Every structure is written in C-alpha cells, then in structure tokens.
Structure 1
Amino acid sequence: MSPSADGHLALLAALPVSFVVITALKRFLPRGQHKPPLPPGPIPLPLLGNILSIDTKQPWLTYTQWGAAYGDLVFARILDQEVVIINSQHLAQALLDKRSRVYSDRPYLATLEPFGLSYNMGFARYSDEWRLSRRIFHQTFRPDSALKFRPMQIRRAHEMIVNLIDDPQHYYAHFATFSSSVTMSAVYDYETSARDDPLIHLVVNAVEASAGVMTPERAMILKMFPFLLNLPDWCPGSSIKRDARVTTNLSNEMVNVPFDYVKQHMVDNPISSRSSMVGEHLQRMEEQGQGLKPMLETALKAAASTAFVASYETTSSTLMVFVLAMLLYPDVQRRAQAEIDLVIGRDQLPTFEDRASLPYIDAVLRETLRWEPVVPLGIPHATISEDIYDGYFIPKGATVMCNTWGISRDEKRYHDACRFMPERFIDDNGKLTDDDPARYVFGMGRRICPGRHTADASVWSAIATMLATVNISLAKDDQGETIHFTPEFTAGITRYFVSSWVLPSSHY
C-alpha cells in the first residue's frame, strides 16, 4: 500500500461515529476551572484536529513554521492525540532532561506487537523491562567501555575504503556494511564478510520490511480497527495482516539467529566469544538464579537487536549526508584533506590518537550531524503524568516531539543555516567551540541514545579515513560530462540522501 493510500485510509478510519463521539466529549468538555492554559498552537478543526495542516512527508517543516509563529513550545491535536512540540534545545533540556521522570515514556504504537517489533527498546514504553535492557546496553556502550571498540572501528573503516575504491558505484552498500559490521563485532563478536554477508542481509531485509509498515498511518488504522489482524487472507483489507506475518518472521530471524550464533560460539570458543555484549552478559546470566534467566535473556535480545537496527539505519544515513556535503561543498573537502596532510602526512591513515589534532575534521562531523539530521524529529516521547511548565498545562499521555530539524536550522544560532559550514564550530583560535549538535541529535533525557559514543566514533573513523584516501565527486556519463542531480531524501523516522551519481575515487 502506498503512503498516500495509507494516509487516505487513516483519515477515513478517524470518522466512525463511535470515534466522533469519544473525541468530541474528550475535546469539548471543560478541563477544570483551575488548570493553566495549554501551550499556544494552531487552531484545530473539529474531530480532525490539525492533521490537514501537516506536511505528511516532512512534518518537521510544519513544526518549524509553527515554532516561528507560536514559540518554542507548541500544542496541536492530530485526530484524538494531544501533541506537544519542542522547538529549542534549551526547552528540550528543561523538560526531557531535568523533568525526565515525566517525559520518559513512549506513545502507544498499535503496530509494534503485531508486526514483531516489540523487541525494539527504542519504541518500548517506560517499564522495568525497558530499564533492564537499557542497563545492559549502557554497560557495554558507556564512554569508558566503548573505548575497547576503537581498534575494530578503525579496521572496519579501512575495509570500507578498500570496498569503495574497488567498487565505488555501490558506496551506500559499503556504508551499510561498515555500520553493521561494527555493531556485529561489538554485540555478537561476529566477523562479517566484506560483502554480501548473510547476517547483514538478514538485518537489511528485516529493517526494510519494517520501514514500510512502521508508519503513523498504519498505527492509526490498527488502533481504530484491530479486527483487521483477524480477517481471512482473501478478504479486502487483509493486507495488513499479511504484512504483519512477513515482518514478524523477518524480525524474529534477525533477533534470534545472531543470538544463537553467540551461544554456539561460546561453546566452541568460550574465551574470545565473551568479549561481545551478548557473550559477556550470557556469562553473567550463568551466574544468576534460574528464575531470572528468561527475563534477562529477553532483555539481552532486545538490547542486542536494537543496537543492530539503530546502527544500520543511522550511521549509514549520516555517512550519506557527509557524501552529499562533500559533493556540494568541494572547498570543505579540500580544506579537510589539507588538515590531514599537514598533521598526519600522506604515508599513514588517521587514528583516534590523532583526533584532538584534527579540529576541522571534528567540525565537519558536527556540521554533518547538524546540516541534515537523519532523525529530524527524534523518537517521540510521551508524558507519564500531567505537568505545568512556564504557566502552561501539559496533559498526561501527550505525545512530545523534539523538533531536531528546527533546532538545527535556527538562524539565530546558525547563521545561513542551510549552508554546510564547518567553520561555525571553530573559534578565532582554531579550536572547537562548545556547541556540539551531538547534544541534541542523539536525543535527550532517559531516552537518549545509549550507543551515541560508539556511533560518534564510527562516523568519525569513516569520515577521517575517507577524507585521507578518496575524493568524492560526481560521476560522469559516457561522453565524460558530469552528471548533475537534485538531492532527494527518503521519508520516514530516519531519512537519508539517495543518489547513484556519486563516484568516490582514489585521493592519492
């Protein structure tokens, strides 16, 4: 089903009489005489709320416009859902960080369980099970623990460069292999093949299948009409059930196959296999009481598969943004390469020991995160209880969105924000400024990305190695003429630049 068809079906799903009555009662009955006003926002239509005003492909653009009109805290209604939009880093820190006890839940998504996606702790509701998975994740990827992955990340970056030079046309596949192989090593101690690895394909298939169904429209349809999951296959409308069956099977494979690999690897090689996140925690589980083992194993599977999926989607997407920036701003590429040549020379490749001496490379990384954030709205939060902030009432159960895109394009903070300008993060003394977009692009509060330190290191190692070894330029046609293009991005929770008109070539 196409996104536009899903959208029309979702709109029709909002209009049954029962839904109209419930929504009308909820919306128009008085809130109580002593409650403060809701935050300002666009006037909602009866029953539909503000859904018709939102750019469904790029909603962050709508929310940024609302921020300019109503302020950093905006209230809207999307059908029966109350939505609060945060348009500044300061306000996001005040609510998501300092009041995390209120803002650490996730909205209910009717698609998670039926489509086999409940393993993903990024979308999980705030609970004891989520906290256990989060603790497992943090133990492996906290800053001091993540240092042990750096030699492996550099090695994987070098493998990526070999693939790029050997097969430059399939650069996105090489980025995906790089990001996945780093996570597979860290999480499962699995050595991926340079190309066409079976476990990488397993993840790619599961992620691509879930991306097509993890839409707000699908969640809305199932919330309104859960009986669609029980329709016979021959019945109109049963495509949702068939998609759910396919996605569930792929997701179960992705969760269980690499996990079972670690179990077998521990039997075959009990020493080295325990260096991975799964191996280390399986060893700990052997020392726990048997009553705790099923819960711990479930939490470990969730943490491991979430790390895998998140890395595949975000790291490779960020590297695609970097490629686009180097195409559109070749002067930046030349300046970055000149810094590497000056500091390191041409007879060796950058390592993490060189990072402090390469401030412009770090500025390029920061600007890559800021310029085209790959998760422009983050993952929505939800309020666990009512709250009052700055005289405004924020309801319990409201969906809270942090508009990362709007923060990154704030002209008061980032002059000429549409331009890729790493210099904005370099002060007059040639040092990095205190402004680091990583402080908001990886989320905030208790739901901040726990793998952000490893992700940052992966992206830096890939960017630094590419700049030291290849030139990124437009491809040419059979007549030797440069092929120009208009940048296009995918739509969804994670977005990335798509093009086949890029051709990395040897730098030296």
Structure 2
Amino acid sequence: MSTPALILAALVPVLVALLASRRRPKLPLPPGPPKLPIVGNLFDLPATFQWETCARWCKEYNSDIIHLNVLGKSVIILGSFDATDALFEKRSAIYSDRNPEIWGGMADSPPSCKTSAQLKASRKYEPHEQLATHKLLKSLLRNPEAFSAHFGQMAGEISMSFTYGIDVLPSEDPFITLAQRAVHAFAAALVPGLYLVDTFPILKYIPTWFPGAGFKRKAREWRKLTAFRTRVGKAELGIAPPSFTADALNASNDATEPVFYQEHHIRDTAGTMYVASADTTVSSLRTFLLAMLANPDAQAKAQAEIDSVVGSEALPSFEDRDLLPYVTALVKEVLRWKNVTPLAVPRLLTVEDEYRGYRIPAGSAIIGNAWGLLHDETVYPDPHAFKPERFLLPNGQPDPAVRDPEVAFGFGRRQCPGRHMATSSIWITVASLLATFDIKKAVDAEPTYEYTSSIVSEPLPFKCTITPRSAKAAALVQSVDTDSRKA
C-alpha cells in the first residue's frame, strides 16, 4: 500500500470513534435544584448551615450526589459514605486536588504528604498531651468560668509542641495569639463562595489595596505565622527539639523523598495541622461540656466507669484507654453529634468522570457533606440524639460494625494529618475532666446549644458550672506534677 493509503487506513478508526462519540448522547448531570439563567443556583444556597440544606436535597432528589451551578461553576455535593468512599478513596488520584487559584487552596500540602502524625508516631507525643491536660485541670480549679480560654491554651500548647516543638508561655503566648487570628481568618475564608475570587479566579491578580481584595489581605495574615521560620532556623543549627516540622526538615535532605519534603510543603502541612488540631480540639471540648449538660446520665455512667478502673488515687492515663470503652464511645459521639467541620474543604476534579450514570464535569468543586454522613439515620439511628452506646455492643465492648466518625476530620488523602493527635488529646482531656470534676448547668443561664455557621462550627458562648467532684479530687489535681521538662 502507498503511504497516503496507509495514513488513511490509520485515520479511519480515529474518525469513526470521533463520529461515534459525537452521536453518543452525553450522560446527564446529577440531580439538583432547578437552575436560573446565568446565576444558576446562586440564590438556592442559604447563607448559613448549608450542610443541612444539602442533606435535605439528597433526600428530596433521592440521590447521594447533587449538582449545583453557581455562576457557571459546577459544584458537586456528596451525601453518603458510598459516594465519598467511591470518589475520595477509590478514585483519590483525580479527586484530591485543590484549586490553587482559590483562597481555600492556599494550604499547599501535597495530598500524599507523609507526616509523623500517623497513629504510631503520634503516640510519642502522648506525654505532652497528658501534661497539658494536667495544667488544664489546675486552671479549671482556679478559674472554672474561663473554661473556653483554658481549652484554647491547652490545645495551642499541644499543637505548638507537636507541630513546631515550641514550649509556649502559660498565658497570652504570642505564637498562640497569632495562630488563633490566622485560624479564624482561614476558617472564614474557606466558606464556599464567600469571596468573589472563588468564582472569578482572575481577581487573584488585583493588588491588595484594591476594593474587594480583602481575601488577599487575609491570606497575607495567614502567612505571618512565624513559628515555621523559627523552626527552620533551629533545625538548620541542629538544635530544634523533636516535632513534625523538625523531623520533616531533617528529612528534606533525603534524595528519595524530593516531593514530600519540599520546604513549602512542610510549612503548609504544619499550618494545616495546627488549624485542624487546635480548633477541632477546642470546639470538640466545648461540645463535650454541652453534651454533659444535656445528658447527665451519660456523664454519670462515664464517671462510674472511670472510678471502677482508675479509682480515686490517680488520674486517668493512656494506658487506661482500652479499659474505658464507654469513655471512648462518648468521645466518638462528641465528634459525631456536633462535628466541627460540617462541610469538607472543596476538592478540584481534574478530569471529567462518571458516577452512578451521571457525568461529573472536569473542573467541578467536589464537597463532602460530613454533617450529612454523620447524621444519616441509616448509619446512625436517631442521629440527633447524643448516644455513646451506639458505638458499643450489649456487653459494653466496642461494636466494630458501627462506622467510626473519622470523616469528622475529612476524607481520603486530604484527611486531616493531625487527626490522631487531636483525637488522643480530646480523649485524655475528657477522661481527666470526668474523673475530677462535675459539669452542671449554671444556675442563672440555660445553654442555647446553638452553633456558628462556618467551616469550623463552634458552640456559641455559654455558661456552666465546673466543680471538683470531692475535696479528694481537688487535692489530686493540686498534687499532680506539671513540670514540662519531664514530658
């Protein structure tokens, strides 16, 4: 055959395939509320508690995947464990990106970043968590009304030690103050659609002084987190104490790990870990107090278990964890009942995909509705009630058939890298508080049990009384050694 004939023969199958694909009807988009011209579903999204509306849409359209169009931007909401497992877990290669042009994508930790925050590695920091908890108990003994501030100090102390190897001041530490300001700016900015740059990425090029450039000024505030630069200097001198940052910086010279240990990856992963662990811990502990106010029977049952295992001569330790299944179930229920991050940070789908016969366009923002999953009555019956026993068998031991509420920390390869540390610090704090204090409603104020509506959902300010269970318990708290050099 001549060369032109060979070329034609080779092109025929390609042309046939192209024609066939043109004739083949496109798969439908997932169901969702009707779209208006140009604005799409812009006015269908409520200003607050969007996760509740998204869960309602899943029921209305009998679908665990919902499609929205917001000013031309495709948004996909995932509303079941099946959907998040299928896409965020099994197809993580194309569902783990974050849009670098959007403010929410500024935490540039790679989705597969190897961190020392894995379960086994995080256990070496348990002495620091226990020490910080003992300091918290003494603070509550002196000034129980300031429990929120004490929680913030304890969480910041643990996070700074674990992430950066920094020993913070007993109060008003500048690192914690700066980090908390950055955390609040970061949490506000991650609300989908809050800033126009989410919809019009070209706005990232406008100068910081330009009207409407507030997102750029907030991003600059986040970048002021100086703890990382402090660790870099000390790591280079070989004097940095053990921490995620120091370990990762030391590993950056390993030629076998060039992708995971680039300095900007370490910086942003460390920042993400602080955001996730510190704010999660504080909000979860405040939720724990509200749960005890609303469920005194659960508090009494947990205290009875602690008394039977630990006694009154010592404080609980991590060695007691396997012997306190009800306390562990109570912590899981705290994380599930009022989860801190109701909507996961949006992902960017890199290529067009198909799921359940629906087309998912490339470039779509994919959001996992963690609140919807953790309040799915088919997985957690009576989901709005606080029931630690839902995680236990009739004999009081853990029920492996009940799904762990770990989606409270995100999904797949983008799951919070500090989740094990956050969970263990919450556990030791809850166990220690229940061992030594009674938590009751304030005489002059009934809690509202209301929460903020943001990427980090927190209880609105409330009052409660936190008093020692006995004079012996108060003496035990006073006697515990809180010398940080022994941690």
TM-score grouping bracket, smaller chain normalisation? 0.7 to 0.9
1:109-508 counterparts in 2 under 5 A? Answer: 109-111=101-103, 118=106, 120-121=107-108, 130=110, 134-135=112-113, 138-220=114-196, 223-224=199-200, 226=202, 230=206, 238-241=210-213, 244-245=216-217, 247-254=218-225, 257-266=226-235, 270=238, 273-285=240-252, 296-434=262-400, 435-476=402-443, 482-508=444-470
Residue 64 (structure 2) pairs with residue 95 (structure 1): no
Alignment partners' CA distance in 1, 2:306 and 2:42? 49
| TM-score, normalising length: structure 2 | 0.84
Offset of residue 163 of structure 1: 1.4
The DSSP-based 3-state class of the residue aligned with 1:401 is strand
| 8 A contact 2:102–2:201 mirrored in 1 | no
Shift of the 80–410 alpha-carbon distance from structure 1 to 2, 3 Å rule, reads same
| 8 A contact 2:103–2:197 mirrored in 1 | no
| 8 A contact 1:169–1:500 mirrored in 2 | no
The C-alpha deviation readout for 1:206-227, integer Å capped at 9, x for no partner, is: 2233444444344325743856
Alignment partners' CA distance in 2, 1:253 and 1:58? 30
Offset of residue 297 of structure 1: 2.0
Offset of residue 287 of structure 1: 6.6
The DSSP-based 3-state class of the residue aligned with 2:115 is helix
Alignment partners' CA distance in 2, 1:232 and 1:454? 36
Alignment partners' CA distance in 1, 2:467 and 2:460? 19
The DSSP-based 3-state class of the residue aligned with 1:259 is helix
Offset of residue 104 of structure 1: 1.3
* 1:26 aligned partner: none
Alignment partners' CA distance in 2, 1:244 and 1:150? 37
Q: CA RMSD in A?
A: 2.7
Shift of the 310–239 alpha-carbon distance from structure 1 to 2, 3 Å rule, reads farther
Instruction: Output the amino acid matched with 1:444.
Output: F
Shift of the 32–389 alpha-carbon distance from structure 1 to 2, 3 Å rule, reads farther
The C-alpha deviation readout for 1:96-119, integer Å capped at 9, x for no partner, is: 11111221122455335xxxx83x
Alignment partners' CA distance in 1, 2:425 and 2:208? 46
| 8 A contact 2:248–2:261 mirrored in 1 | no
| 8 A contact 2:163–2:270 mirrored in 1 | yes
Offset of residue 56 of structure 1: 2.0
Offset of residue 356 of structure 1: 0.6
Percent identity of paired positions between Structure 1 and Structure 2: 32
Number of aligned residues = 447
* 1:73 aligned partner: 65
Offset of residue 329 of structure 1: 0.9
The DSSP-based 3-state class of the residue aligned with 1:471 is strand
| 8 A contact 2:33–2:41 mirrored in 1 | yes
Alignment partners' CA distance in 1, 2:403 and 2:377? 16
Shift of the 437–380 alpha-carbon distance from structure 1 to 2, 3 Å rule, reads farther
Shift of the 410–213 alpha-carbon distance from structure 1 to 2, 3 Å rule, reads closer
Shift of the 258–105 alpha-carbon distance from structure 1 to 2, 3 Å rule, reads same
Shift of the 412–194 alpha-carbon distance from structure 1 to 2, 3 Å rule, reads same
* 1:82 aligned partner: 74
The DSSP-based 3-state class of the residue aligned with 1:161 is helix
Offset of residue 178 of structure 1: 1.5
| TM-score, normalising length: structure 1 | 0.81
Instruction: Output the amino acid matched with 2:382.
Output: D
| 8 A contact 1:487–1:499 mirrored in 2 | no
Q: Please identify the structure whose Cα radius of gyration is greater.
A: 2
| 8 A contact 1:36–1:393 mirrored in 2 | yes
Offset of residue 345 of structure 1: 0.5
Instruction: Output the amino acid matched with 2:102.
Output: A
